[in-house]
A and B are shown apart, each in its own frame.
Chain A
Amino acid sequence: MSQTKKLMYLNRRAPYGTIYAWESLEVVLIGAAFEQDVSLAFVDDGVYQIIKGQDTGGIDMKNFSPTYSALGDYEVTKLYVEKESLEERGLSLDNLMHLTWEDEDEDWAEKDSIVLVSRAELAQLMDEQDVVFSF
């Protein structure tokens, strides 16, 4: 499979009410082996997936939020977060986990994975994709 396509994983739902967020992450981790041009997008309640300080102790479910911090090691380095979705929920970048990746072309400089984009910019990004996995 020598083709490289632009793959976007579109995350639209809060993390624990349904299994979509976690099973989306499972696809991302497996998909990383396929060396495609991958990005993730977080919109609507999907922005809650990467909120910091998640604690699932009271609901007997696995807290899978640390997995997002590992995405950089899988060379998944583009995490687009829709600004309007944050604002509509009274959230800002400060409420999100600090997710980074190391750029081997720049002596492993640590770079932010999260990119805030407007709704219009995200629409443009989605339009540029070959494949959008919607979760």
Chain B
Amino acid sequence: MKFAIQINEGPYQHQASDSAYLFTKTALEKGHEVFRVFFYHDGVGNSTRLTTPPQDDRHIVNRWAALAEKYDLDMVVCVAAAQRRGIADDGEAERNGKDATNIHPRFRISGLGQLIEAAVQADRLMVFGD
């Protein structure tokens, strides 16, 4: 089956990103396809490389990045949601006159059209959040 994944909540505060990660990892291990992982609302907070959890805890951002590396996952962060919450890549930082970026290089910032496209292309859209 071809899945699209939507994550609506930030890391650590909420289980959504953990559940989505475990679901995505298991689906891929079982040979399913994941068309795209889309981060929306506070879910965009899952993409900052500045995340520094205690050493004995899981690193949610790096864990997503490693999974994406292994399976060539497309991980998209919504641009409008990211701008509101201070998530920036080089392009966004330059466009909006910011002095820094914080996105992990394994994620990319793009528009909401990417969510619609994923929902249409996939057999199932899985939404993780409240």
Contacts and interface: CB of A to CB of B under 8 A. Distances in A.
B120 A26 contact: no
A1 B113 CA distance: 12
Nearest to B4: A131
B25 interface: no
Contacts of A3: 120-121
B68 interface: no
Interface of B: 6, 8, 40-41, 80-81, 84, 111-113, 115-117, 119-121, 125, 127, 129
Contacts of A5: 119-120
Interface of chain A: mostly helix, strand, loop or mixed: mixed
Contacts, number: 50
Contacts of A1: 117, 120-121
Interface residues of A, number: 19
A133 B127 contact: yes
A133 B120 CA distance: 12
A33 B125 CA distance: 19
Contacts of A19: 41, 84
Nearest to A27: B112
Nearest to B113: A30
Contacts of B8: 20, 135
